[in-house]
Structure 1
């Protein structure tokens, strides 16, 4: 699948699953995604007043968490799916955070913001779905200020047996059937394990972070390696 076809397919996937995305996330990750995000926020150490952009923000749970940690700092959530953003917008309005959080429908590979705009650039469970992950990481690095952080929370590849075998059985066989049962979507949830197959493992993604010019790269395996957190910093001189 070429990059344009992948972009169009992924867009159709997320538009179709948007109404049940939050429920399926809870079900399919056994609610671990919330614990992973809390752990990530602790590692980031977001300061009051800090600015952030959350790419592939989906229904905006992480965007909201960034806003709550920043308190009054500027937060932008960006996603290419209008359906996802509509659900996120309702959450933000319900929490009366719409003056602080701006939602933008846009492309993570071409961010509509100038260099050095944000203290943090984050992407949660979206990097494996983009046409060119290196380009997205370069864009994230570009828009963060010198000294700012580029943060990725993503599914990964466990290496420890027998857990690895059980995980792949669940992810490749059981997960798509749960998607069909609870969300009436089989092909869309079959895409999730397919998207992980070509995605870099924990160490390779850390290397890519360094290759795009990020420094002090830290990589943390989560829950036996089924997810991973990567944090890198833009050099103080922008290099």
Structure 2
């Protein structure tokens, strides 16, 4: 399967995440050297969620960010959406263990066709999932549609370092070593080869910021993280709803 074909094949992406779900959290810790936790903490500080504010977390996976959002909102409506049933099942176990089942609702669904009315949430987030969707612009439009006027659309995602030699080192690690780690640690070479492939055509920091603006979001802010290996983007829906 070519990189272009793999990116456009929704069934392939779905099978990747269904198969890696049991070891997803462990591998995230290993391959990011636990930096994904620091990135999420930084993101939550920038979001500054207030008690009572609602949130929709797209591509929520095993629900770590969904849980952070629910805690920050002090019990306000929080929904996690993902297309992988296996991911959601693991996330539900976490939610139930923490006693947050009355606050967090998990929904199996498509980020490109959100099953929610316009202007429903104070925040709509997507963490490490935007590079896996077939149409980034469509997902951003949907995120803007369901966020309230004045609300924020937030993306935390792997990105592309721009300065050498760090760029070369990152590419070597992400493209060569990461799939081998997947093979050795969880017997999933092909699945972890997909992760670097998904970044090939993904926009860099500034290009994704322009896509946020192109979707009609305002006051777009972009933050490179850990030398640019990840990035945070935040955009605001106009108070006029446009």
TM normalised by structure 1 equals 0.98
Helix, strand or coil: the match of 1:102?
A: strand
Task: State whether residues 75 and 100 of structure 1, in contact with CA within 8 Å, keep that contact through their aligned partners in structure 2.
Answer: yes
Task: State whether residues 6 and 13 of structure 2, in contact with CA within 8 Å, keep that contact through their aligned partners in structure 1.
Answer: no
Gaps of 5+ in 2: none
Shift of 1:73: 0.7
Q: Which one of the candidate residues 142, 145, 170 is aligned to 1:142?
A: 145
Query: Residue 113 of structure 2 aligns with which residue?
Result: 110
Helix, strand or coil: the match of 1:73?
A: coil
Helix, strand or coil: the match of 1:83?
A: helix
- Between the aligned partners of 2:113 and 2:69, the Cα distance in structure 1 is 22
Shift of 1:72: 1.4
Alignment deviations for residues 17-76 of structure 1 (CA, whole Å, 9 cap, x no partner): 000000000000000000000000000000001000000000000000000100111000
2:126 is the alignment partner of 1:133: no
- Cα distance change on mapping 1:170 and 1:3 into 2, 3 Å: closer
2:194 is the alignment partner of 1:201: no
Query: Residue 226 of structure 2 aligns with which residue?
Result: 223
2:50 is the alignment partner of 1:47: yes
Aligned ranges for residues 67-106 of structure 1 at < 5 Å?
A: 67-106=70-109
Gaps of 5+ in 1: none
Task: State whether residues 144 and 150 of structure 1, in contact with CA within 8 Å, keep that contact through their aligned partners in structure 2.
Answer: yes
Q: Which one of the candidate residues 171, 185, 190 is aligned to 1:187?
A: 190
Shift of 1:4: 9.1
- Between the aligned partners of 1:130 and 1:6, the Cα distance in structure 2 is 10
Point out 4+ residue stretches in structure 1 off by more than 2 angstroms: 1-5
Task: State whether residues 19 and 87 of structure 1, in contact with CA within 8 Å, keep that contact through their aligned partners in structure 2.
Answer: yes
Q: Which one of the candidate residues 4, 9, 20 is aligned to 1:6?
A: 9
- Between the aligned partners of 1:148 and 1:136, the Cα distance in structure 2 is 16
Number of residues paired by the alignment? 239
Helix, strand or coil: the match of 1:108?
A: coil
